[in-house]
A and B are shown apart, each in its own frame.
Chain A
Amino acid sequence: MRFEEIKQEAKEKREALRQSKNPLIFVGTATCGRSAGALDTLEVFHRELKSRNIDAEIIETGCLGLCYVEPIVGIAKPGRPNIWYRNVSPERAKELIEGYLVKGDPLAEYALGSTEGNVEEIPYLFDLPTLKPQVRRVLWNCGFISPTDIDHYVASGGYEALQKAVFEMQPEEVINEVKRSGLRGLGGAGFPAGRKWEGCRRAPGDEKYVICNADEGDPGAFQDRSVLEGDPHSVLEGMIIAGYAVGARKGYIYVRAEYPLAVKYLEIAISQAREKGFIGENILGSNFSFDLEIFQGAGAFVCGESTALTLSIEGNRGMPKPLPRPRTTEEGLWDKPTLLNNVKTFANIRWIINKGADWFAGVGTERSKGTAIFSLTGKIANCGLIEVSMGITLREIIFDIGGGIPGGKAFKAVQTGGPSGGCLPASLLDVPVDFDSLATAGSIMGSGGMVVMDEDTCMVDLARYFLDFTEKESCGQCSLCRLGSSQMLEILRAITEGKGEMEDIDLLIELGEAIKIGSICGLGQTVPNPVLTTLRYFREEYEAHIIDKRCPALACKELISYHILPTRCVACQRCFWACPNKAITGYTLQAPVINEAKCVRCNTCLEVCPTRLSAVTKTSGAKVGVPS
């Protein structure tokens, strides 16, 4: 079939859906929605609508990115705007059916916002404080279309870029456009995408490969998964265009096996794209052929590194190739020229081809063009997935989009780039978010994790946490990475247990610098980053642990103790009953006493003590004087 016909058909299908006499119900059922209970909500809609004999079309969509209000449901009644609802539990789903679908009251109190028209008392969805500052390109379709129906994607302009590239542009022109756009690899390192494509195109050989890196192993990052679960075709389209541009006939999507839903949606997407003729022999009737296959990564963080990733597809352990090594674009998978880009990099391609390099570069900074996508998590009010213009400040992200720190706590630090990145303090909140500024500040853009921390997070413990992760994930080839990281971890452990010494700080810095020099891959070279940046910006916390044997954030187990203040305690015995380790001795009509030797510092007693009493206290360093 010709592209025009495919497009026409998809548009007619969408129009029919829009003009339908039945309401449309969108339920966000990506992984994040599911964990908030979206499948239960979905079931209620199916069951209730059936039992009430209401004809409606239920469409499962991906993630809007507003994780803090999941499950999200959108309802479009005929002739009315779409209304998006927050926290739709099964109970609320029933209320919406009764209230809005049956009686016609839009229940504004549960609404997030509306699209495609205005409803009284309900704001426009994209006017929400968390959405307004965002620039949504890669996330354009996420949450609004069905990821399992290719027609939804095509009707929204999908595969137009492929048609244009294959029929109206020479491969070199495609590469030129990508080069001119200034797009940089969004997997973390930020290498100019166009130059990579050009390198692969120029590399000699007929057999070339395109690989999409969806091995998102960074703890605290889930944006690649959300894109694959929300709009998989945008990634496929970018990959096919890349295949055309560099002269490859075969592509692989290397996706984590821990993302079963993303794998399933990708499988559906690939088979639908093949059916329509976007993948396979003679794509859309041209003489360009390209096929795609999924490879499930088996859970190794280091496989995000290009040479490790290709070795893993070949059936080896994912251990980066030793230096000096040729570029992957020259010698990659099966020693053939290979283009490897991240999910988000590919998802940007269709915009560049459709709207042009100048349009794309209209957003961003001098050296970082386009948008950045972050998984905004941690101690933040509005957790979720965000897409912002490069150059926005951390402050705008955390306080405007993220809604600040919950519970009246103070902001302490923000961690970007996962285990390879660094922690930035409040004094750097006005740093613009782009590849170069973050690097200057000691962190990295990384693949897009952004974890916010408040006063209760101990920075030494956080550095230990990341080291614990990378130490396990080190492939073990380079002695400095393998042994150095475990040495650093030992030292950090000792400090968090109050057994550190002042010399340890210099030793950490020395070891860190040595590991950076002595490792052959990006994992090793960035292992020390979390330690070095916390030492740079939060040295006093290390010193408090070492000199005063005190954890200022009251987080390190070995350095804290719990006490019950008899003056505040009303002997309600809640903590006595709740203590999982029976470490509290209770007395009738008297304050219970915590037996420090048995206490495991699980914080349960503090949690169950009514806030109006706050009789349980947590201290570190000098013991609190127990008032008599």
Chain B
Amino acid sequence: MESYLSEILSSYKGIKSELIPILQKVQAEFGYLPEEAMNKVAEFCRVAESKVFGIASFYAQFRFVPLGRTQVTACRGTACHVRGAPQILAEVERQLGIEEGETTPDLEYSLETVACIGCCALAPCLVINEKVESKMTPKKVKELFTKEE
């Protein structure tokens, strides 16, 4: 990790305004923000560790646990909501045994929600590893996860 991190940091100057872009880069590399990495970023940008954690926890993009191999993202946009997104999310949670924001202990699945993916015409939607599954029903959700196992 050390070497990856110094490689990322080498293209920055180490000023406060680079904090968010650096954290984005770190997360793109590791899939989440490991504690050691955040400490290093704090040192590099000469700010308190609490400041880095404060930023990382404020913005929805950042996460502190690794992602699963299969990323499941449920859209909770308004169009999806009025077309039954809550039932879809509930069914995914039931199928995977985890709640929104969690990763299964075997690191196979992680489940997140997103404010809107903008595919409102195909609502309700799930995104599974960047592939959009459109016009979902609880039954389709069940089929999706039983098929993959």
Contact = CB atoms under 8 A, between A and B. Distances in A.
Contact of B61 (A218, A299, A383): A299
B15 to A, nearest CB: 8
A456 B87 CA distance: 14
Contacts of B54: 317
Nearest to A317: B58
B77 A220 contact: yes
A453 B55 contact: no
Interface string B1-26: 00000000000000111111101100
Given A220-B116, A451-B82, A603-B87, A377 B60 contact: no
Contacts of B69: none
Contacts of A316: 55
Contacts of A317: 54-55, 58-59
Contact of A219 (B24, B61, B115, B132): B115
A298 B82 contact: no
A580 B118 contact: no
A462 B18 CA distance: 39
A315 B139 CA distance: 44
A298 B60 contact: yes
B45 to A, nearest CB: 8
A222 interface: yes
B77 A299 contact: no
A345 interface: no
B17 to A, nearest CB: 4
A257 B21 CA distance: 10
Interface in A204-232: 217-222, 225-226
A582 to B, nearest CB: 12
Given A300-B58, A314-B17, A608 B115 contact: no
Contact of B118 (A32, A457, A600, A602): A32
State the majority secondary structure of interface residues on B: helix
A129 B46 CA distance: 59
Nearest to B56: A298
B123 A603 contact: no
Contacts of B138: 580, 602-604
Contacts of B16: 314-315
Given A315-B19, A451-B78, A457-B82, A219 B139 contact: no
A35 B132 contact: yes
Contacts of A296: 20-21, 24
Nearest to B138: A602
B74 to A, nearest CB: 12
B76 A219 contact: yes
A320 to B, nearest CB: 13
Interface string A469-485: 10000010000000000
Contacts of B91: 580, 602
A251 interface: no
B149 to A, nearest CB: 15
A219 B122 contact: no
Given A299-B60, A379-B82, A35 B117 contact: yes
Given A34-B132, A35-B125, A67-B121, A298 B59 contact: yes
B90 A600 contact: yes
Contacts of A221: 116
Given A312-B20, A603-B84, A604-B139, A220 B79 contact: yes
A378 B79 contact: yes
B55 A378 contact: no
Contact of A298 (B20, B79, B114, B132): B20
A573 B69 CA distance: 36
B115 A217 contact: yes
A468 B67 CA distance: 25
A70 interface: yes
A188 to B, nearest CB: 16
A143 interface: no
Contact of A451 (B15, B20, B79): B79
B83 interface: yes
A70 B121 contact: yes
B48 interface: no
Contacts of A378: 78-79, 82-83, 120
A375 interface: yes
Contacts of A220: 77-79, 116, 120
A158 interface: no
A377 B79 CA distance: 6
A415 B55 CA distance: 32
25 contacts: A35-B117, A36-B119, A67-B120, A219-B116, A225-B118, A258-B114, A295-B21, A296-B21, A300-B58, A313-B17, A315-B15, A315-B19, A315-B55, A317-B54, A377-B121, A378-B120, A379-B82, A418-B78, A465-B78, A469-B76, A469-B115, A578-B139, A580-B139, A602-B90, A602-B138
Given A580-B94, A604-B137, 16 more contacts: A36-B119, A67-B120, A219-B81, A298-B24, A298-B62, A299-B59, A299-B61, A317-B58, A317-B59, A378-B78, A383-B79, A475-B58, A580-B141, A580-B142, A602-B91, A604-B138
Interface of B: 15-21, 23-24, 45, 54-55, 58-62, 76-79, 81-84, 86-87, 90-91, 94-95, 114-123, 125, 132, 134, 137-139, 141-142
The 6 closest A-B pairs by CB, nearest first: A222-B118, A220-B78, A383-B121, A298-B59, A299-B60, A377-B120
Interface of A: 31-32, 34-36, 67-68, 70, 217-222, 225-226, 257-258, 295-296, 298-301, 312-318, 375, 377-379, 383-384, 415, 418, 449, 451, 453, 456-457, 462, 465, 469, 475, 557, 578, 580-581, 600-604, 607-608
